[in-house]
Amino acid sequence: MVDDSKTTTSPDVNSKREAELPELVSASKKPRTLAEEKQTSEANNNSNNVSSNENADSSQENEHKDKNVEERRLSFAVEADAAEDKGSRHTMEDAWVVLQDASLDFPGKLRCAHFAIYDGHGGRLAAEYAKKNLHRNVLSAGLPRELLDVKAAKKAILEGFRKTDESLLQESTAGGWQDGATAVCVWVLGQTVFVANVGDAKAVIARSTVVDGSQHNSTTTDSLKAIVLTREHKAIYPQERARIQKAGGTVSSNGRLQGRLEVSRAFGDRQFKKVGVVATPDIHSFDLTERDHFIILGCDGLWGVFGPSDAVEFVHKLLQDGLPVAVVSRHLVREAVRERRCKDNCTAIVIVFRKK
């Protein structure tokens, strides 16, 4: 597996950083387009509202709809844990957050859980800064704490990302550091999940294709589908390339911004902000139903050696064997690094939804 680094160092970066970030062109990956992901996600989100038999009579259709309404009322417990390994890198530049109760100084009636992975490049400072500040900034921006308001929640997440990057750039200028960090974040508000990302870290959900208690607890993965909830932001992708070029940046033949940075959205990276790098996230939300089993968050190191379906199958088997979530996450990372030879930093969070 090719070691997939996000940045190519420049002459003004010290030798230690050059050793940590070798100049390598990333392995070719065929991304799913945003349209494809939206179609897949929407199709699965809406599948509950479609009768399995196109020729069913109206009474059957109404019964199916009633079942789906009841399904949305189900209450879910959330369990999660993280694991990490620096791989063959000299240092660990990832940071992560697992907060079952993420209300902090903003208490409310609405359940608030938060999980995130920040994948640093060129150092760990930006990742640590985002870890310490993003969630609090999102809460301060008005993340709903009493009654769910999807529009208000997305607005708060967007503002939280903006404020975090703005203050991070001020800190990095004062401190003279230039590293950056990608991010994949999840908020669970009540029974609604919000996913936000910048860069190439991903979130994948394992979702049943049928609503059936026996199938839900099946030991097979025949009825379980892996759905990517995030969109990668890389300079080589047409939509991102166009935005970069409009900002005055260039994408070199190696697919990197200014020949150096692979990702096109990230926290920090202040030397690239004037040529198209932004910290504006893609945000996706959905209501939990009985069909939703678990979410896997991972940095690009994990997804470099695991495909979405492969990871879902791996985690599902361990959960069916009765292993705790903490053990499952450790097994996933160990498999990625020791067995599949992930050379990059590798961090994963497994978030399990259990019906009450």
Distance, in Å, from the CA atom of 75 to the CA atom of 73, rounded to the nearest integer, reads: 6
State the DSSP H helix or E strand holding residue 330, giving kind and residue range, or none if neither: helix 325-334
pLDDT of the residue at 210? 75
Using 50, 70 and 90 to split pLDDT, how confident is the model at 113? very high
Instruction: Look at residue 317 and tell me if it is in a domain.
Output: yes
pLDDT in tens, 227-255: 999 999 999 999 999 999 999 999 998 88
Instruction: Look at residue 18 and tell me if it is in a domain.
Output: no
Domain CATH number, residue 315: 3.60.40.10
Instruction: Look at residue 257 and tell me if it is in a domain.
Output: no
Q: Note down the domain range covering 205.
A: 77-231+283-355
Cβ atoms of residues 353 and 75 within 8 Å: no
pLDDT in tens, 139-159: 999 999 999 999 999 999 999
Instruction: Look at residue 348 and tell me if it is in a domain.
Output: yes
Task: Find tokens 């409310």 and name the residue.
Answer: 108
Cβ atoms of residues 123 and 177 within 8 Å: yes
pLDDT in tens, 24-69: 222 333 344 344 444 444 444 444 433 333 333 444 444 444 444 4
Sign of CA dihedral 233, 236, 238, 239: positive
Sign of CA dihedral 109, 110, 113, 118: negative
How far lies 347's CA from each of 5, 126, 256, in Å? 15, 16, 24
Q: What would the two tokens of residue 102 be?
A: 């993420």
Distance, in Å, from the CA atom of 227 to the CA atom of 206, rounded to the nearest integer, reads: 7
Instruction: Look at residue 140 and tell me if it is in a domain.
Output: yes
pLDDT of the residue at 167? 96
pLDDT of the residue at 223? 82
pLDDT of the residue at 154? 98
Instruction: Look at residue 53 and tell me if it is in a domain.
Output: no
Q: Is 150 exposed, middle or buried (0-12, 13-18, 19+ CB in 10 A)?
A: middle
Instruction: Look at residue 6 and tell me if it is in a domain.
Output: no
pLDDT of the residue at 131? 97
Instruction: Look at residue 67 and tell me if it is in a domain.
Output: no
- Chain centroid to CA 140: how far? 22
Nearest of 3, 30, 1, 4 to residue 261 by alpha carbon: 4
Query: How many domains does the chain divide into?
Result: 1
Distance, in Å, from the CA atom of 192 to the CA atom of 303, rounded to the nearest integer, reads: 25
Cβ atoms of residues 306 and 51 within 8 Å: no
